Structure 1
């Protein structure tokens, strides 16, 4: 299958590509990003680097004909373009909303109209966050506007799929803290554990969420919302089967 990874140069995107290079169900990886996407350094002996095609997009609100042509015929898309809470401090709110909401809307509207080569629905796997809130009346006390905005994006993705007459099948992945070996020092790991306890944020390993996103894209969507516990469950199962 032909898989788009949007946000290919990011933390999770790099791991998705690393695993997809060795996945027998993925024949082509379209790495969508603002810059050229390299083959991950730790791709592994079973990786097929020839699968990777870098698709550089200068404007995620206006896809060029060239980019559309490169993305045409994809069977699935793992969408990872977003602003994390830690990045909010360094950019205006309007910019954060544009990246999280506007880019997703335009991306789905564009990719959703590029018919998969298989003739089957496009599988769109949108990655959000555990604390995102789809009901504005239940705005969280911490990062309330951000959580509601991410929830608004989730609502759009699911409604678009529902109204697509079978052209798009979508799921929303809602991970908590995404952890990986070496990501945190001892002090930061302690602080993150305390922080997660205070706000009730669950944790998922990087390898687990990447394995789950690929599985949903390749093998079919289990349900329209994948909570952190689902990402851990599916990721561990898939990883166990591949060993």
Structure 2
């Protein structure tokens, strides 16, 4: 299986990459990244300057992939314009490329967030703009999935993501909904490999992730 990964230098993406490289069923990982990564026999790095543009040399590296795990993002966005570019524009630009050059059926695994709001008119009491942007990404991806049956979209909506060695009981913020990063990565990989119990679903909540899908 050939898998595309974004966000491989981030908190979640690093864990996904580590598990992918250890998984014998995944024969090739292409990491789309702005900077190089440590060498590994299964890893290719597609170095990009702009996540809105994929020149032919990058497309050649991505060609014929079976799935993508999209874990690109920032913990804190400086403003709504940046949030829209990173969350929405980068994602949709990549999806258009994947539809052109990758295998069919193709599985696109998107790491969203438990607070994302798909109802663009709903009044929210905190981070309303960013939550609506994340919800808009989900809406756009689901429209694409409905229009293109060969392009499967699976959205994971984790709450607080904790390091694998953190104890849920020892942290005050762990009292709320949370998931450990290794469990989240494992769930995304299972969906990418079409190995979940119910791949007809599009959205997986934090409780689903903690149950192992």
TM-score, normalization by structure 1: 0.80
CA contact (8 A) 2:83 2:133 kept: no
Distance 1:132 1:32, change over 3 A: same
Is 1:104 aligned to 2:91, yes or no? yes
- Residue 158 of structure 2 corresponds to 175
Judging by fraction of residues, say which structure has more helix. Answer: 1
Computing the radius of gyration from Cα coordinates, the structure with the larger value is: 1
Aligned counterparts, 1:12-161, within 5 A: 12-38=12-38, 49-84=40-75, 87-88=76-77, 91-116=78-103, 120-161=104-145
Q: Aligned partners of 1:6 and 1:114: how far apart in 2?
A: 17
RMSD: 2.0
Q: Aligned partners of 2:61 and 2:123: how far apart in 1?
A: 39
CA deviations 1:91-132 (Å, max 9, x no partner) are 23211210111101101111121131xxx3110001100010
Deviation at 1:23? 1.1
Unaligned 5+ runs, structure 1: 40-48, 197-201, 236-243
Is 1:203 aligned to 2:178, yes or no? yes
Deviation at 1:37? 2.1
Runs of 4+ in 1 over 3 A off after TM superposition: 181-184
Unaligned 5+ runs, structure 2: none
* Number of aligned residues: 209
Q: Aligned partners of 1:82 and 1:26: how far apart in 2?
A: 24
Deviation at 1:172? 0.6
TM-score, normalization by structure 2: 0.91
CA deviations 1:122-175 (Å, max 9, x no partner) are 1000110001010112242111111111000001111111111x2301111000
Deviation at 1:24? 2.1
